[in-house]
A and B are shown apart, each in its own frame.
Chain A
């Protein structure tokens, strides 16, 4: 028999043996299945419903120092807005205290001379105070208040029979997400963050565990090669991870109603690349750490926060300083977030998908190659 052919047949047999072993272990210890399948469902449910950047029912203090018809119509405009949950306060002092204590996020005050200034001019000031503690929220509230103010002005002008003169108005068109639903961009981003963690957790411990339980030494004296051991580890967890991915996508589409404009096939191809990169990173951690304790520490401290903050999932990468932007290139989730947001909301935009997919390819290749090179079939 040709030794080459025989070797290949042996390799296939060894791989099959390793794969079956790994699958059996996964089935016997359900914690891996829990990580891959139950975790994404729970987390997506929690976050899909819990996370939203659209402020609604903002508690707002209204201080009207002298009641009048105009003041009443103004406060009615706030009451009608779904963004606000207005509460009347007697005087500025008590409203300020409420703001300090965090019971309201902003104050709108109509002074005693509001009506007289409104009628006689030059212009009636409306005092607005927002809590700048959470700057983003403050800016949102400012925007909402000015929206209410403008619609009140238009309404007043209409009643008076002379249209409101605004020289230039902004006519906005938000593409890909015309309703500006934050869920539509948060859910795809969340999928990327959750899958990063799952990839790292699935594999971070597997090699370290073989070292610690002494099974590695027994494996190493068989004809099995390091490449076969690594593939035997990768394939089952890849399958598990893709299962979790599929569940997440199904939930995004059917439960959260995120539209999918791109191709489902392309989505899964990219997900496969990303999964390889995430598993490759976990494998590398596992190979280098050789102890479950260190591998766990690394997985806990280095995976979640970077994926959460540097992937563009919430914070815009383009606005970060250049040094920080450079660092984001090391985060696999960054590429996947970009692909997911585009595929879900825009469609098959090749100009975006191809470079990001290539970057994922490169990351997966680097992680797996380094993991391969760092694992020798020798002790010490």
Chain B
């Protein structure tokens, strides 16, 4: 019938010597240079790389949405440049922000894409049933897409892309902003497609644990292909260089910060109770050399993983970069407040007859890093908006630094910094203009103003982008800019709503280094995230589901609560999923 039905022996995608440059503000940006690779049928290939590596550009070139400067792309035997319409009819592509029509229902979105993809009418009913049961959206076919949670939206986007089964599926960061439960489900779908239908999948991701689930990994950096191969091959290169360090009695954030600066250490991240380190040399480190002056330290070798290799390779290319030297921001006044900083009691918020938040109670002490976790749509953002005084609660009471920000004088807001989930700075302004504006909005004038802006540009490594429009920044830099803007006035309390969503692992390490440093200064941080390994950085956290508090405690408490006979030592992700699933079952039962 169509070209796609014809057999393609072996190679589905052949990318050869692709280069692409963009013009941005009069500067030429090399997005891709001389990239070549081949993709065979029935495999999941991960496209991994830091922000601005050229992942999205590569996806768009393959989909025929951009023209390469040089080189050729052959998709299913067709040239992506010349026969782009034919290519587009035969592949599935889900862009980073899949444009669902939010005012159309799930079923209507599916109908639209079935029409556009030319799925014959008689095949539709069966195909819809299959897709809906695969994505678990069967009960929601009549719901408007705009009212689905973030994870459900991604699954619907995938279903729309798959409405006519393609031979090659391109997914651009399909799991950004998706909670762990939905993420697991998305991966189950991808595996099923490959197994049952022999589809080939190329996906980009910022989650490095996902890279390990791929058959093959393409490592992209600054527009160049650094390496390709099975993820285990990448990891095995680091055999003998990875260790787990435990120092009982020491705050693990502090331990991690000290280890990052320790000699011979390339990388250090918190992992459960311990800190995982990667050494420059395959030699077991001495406790005294790593942490001079500290008592009990246990060091044990562990198996390397893909993330270690990724960080090692990327850091090798940025030798001058020393992310651990995080300068303390100049203090502009105010002493650390002791005691309880945030108090929430029986907080509720209703939209019509739907409770977004219901009877939520918790309190946060000064200097604490406090996490708010939950599936998409659990009410985290609504809680943040109420705490910041953007939304009046329907019931209950809340106190931030002793006041309700909605009713308090404007100056009370100078104590908080807020970073919203969606990028919300002025895209038409440059980086510097954005910082200037927020510094002024927070009341900085004269010399402190200039100093603070200069501090932000330097600290967040934004200097080279100072004159660029905010809209043209890569996602990771947008997040940095947003954090910088929220920190202009040296707030005592920080509200960070998914600050690391879509940010590459390097930038995330820097980000958490900053959070740790701030917490040491007594700044209180409230944060939401979908990266479960980041939860380990929190002192305490709450897990929310359908607007209600499910569990409150330290990461260890949460994990202990989820421990079972099969999983005596669950990871944070296992614990989270177990808690959410148990809650779902309870709800179904009642």
Contact = CB atoms under 8 A, between A and B. Distances in A.
Interface in A1-52: 1, 10, 13-14, 16-18, 20-21, 24-25, 28-29
B116 A14 contact: yes
Nearest to B1: A1
A18 B109 CA distance: 11
A220 B66 contact: no
A377 B65 CA distance: 7
B66 A379 contact: yes
A219 interface: yes
A214 B63 CA distance: 16
A219 B88 contact: no
Given A10-B118, A21-B104, A222-B117, A214 B98 contact: yes
A17 B100 contact: no
Contacts of A14: 115-116, 118
A380 B69 CA distance: 13
B474 to A, nearest CB: 16
Given A17-B116, A218-B95, A223-B117, 13 more contacts: A10-B118, A20-B111, A28-B103, A28-B104, A28-B144, A214-B99, A217-B97, A218-B157, A219-B99, A222-B89, A223-B116, A224-B116, A377-B84
A-B CB proximity, top 9 nearest = A17-B115, A215-B99, A223-B89, A214-B99, A214-B97, A222-B116, A28-B103, A221-B93, A218-B99
Nearest to B119: A13
B89 A216 contact: no
A29 B108 CA distance: 15
Interface string B76-96: 000000001100110101110
Given A14-B115, A17-B116, A223-B118, A378 B67 contact: yes
A380 B66 contact: yes
Contact of B108 (A24, A216, A224, A380): A24
Given A217-B65, A220-B65, A379-B66, A13 B98 contact: no
Contacts, number: 94
A14 B60 CA distance: 22
23 contacts: A1-B1, A10-B118, A14-B115, A14-B116, A17-B113, A17-B115, A18-B116, A21-B101, A24-B108, A25-B103, A28-B104, A210-B99, A213-B99, A214-B95, A217-B95, A217-B99, A218-B95, A218-B100, A218-B160, A223-B85, A223-B89, A223-B118, A380-B66
A60 to B, nearest CB: 56
Interface residues of B, number: 36
A13 B88 contact: no
A210 B95 CA distance: 14
Contacts of B115: 13-14, 16-18, 20
B272 to A, nearest CB: 38
Interface string A69-105: 0000000000000000000000000000000000000
Contacts of A29: 103
Contacts of A214: 95, 97-99
Interface residues of A, number: 31
A156 interface: no
Given A24-B108, A378-B66, A219 B116 contact: yes
A375 interface: no
B577 interface: no
Interface of A: 1, 10, 13-14, 16-18, 20-21, 24-25, 28-29, 210, 213-225, 377-380
Nearest to A27: B103
A221 B100 contact: no
A20 B64 CA distance: 27
B181 interface: no
B108 A21 contact: yes
Given A17-B112, A20-B111, A214-B95, A223 B104 contact: no
A377 B160 CA distance: 20
B113 A222 contact: yes
Contacts of B84: 377-378
Contact of A378 (B65, B103, B108, B144): B65
B114 interface: yes
B112 A220 contact: no
Contacts of A213: 99, 102
A21 B101 CA distance: 9
Contacts of B60: 379
Interface in B55-76: 60, 63-67
Given A17-B112, A24-B108, A25-B104, A379 B98 contact: no
Nearest to B146: A28
Interface string B30-68: 000000000000000000000000000000100111110
Nearest to A10: B118
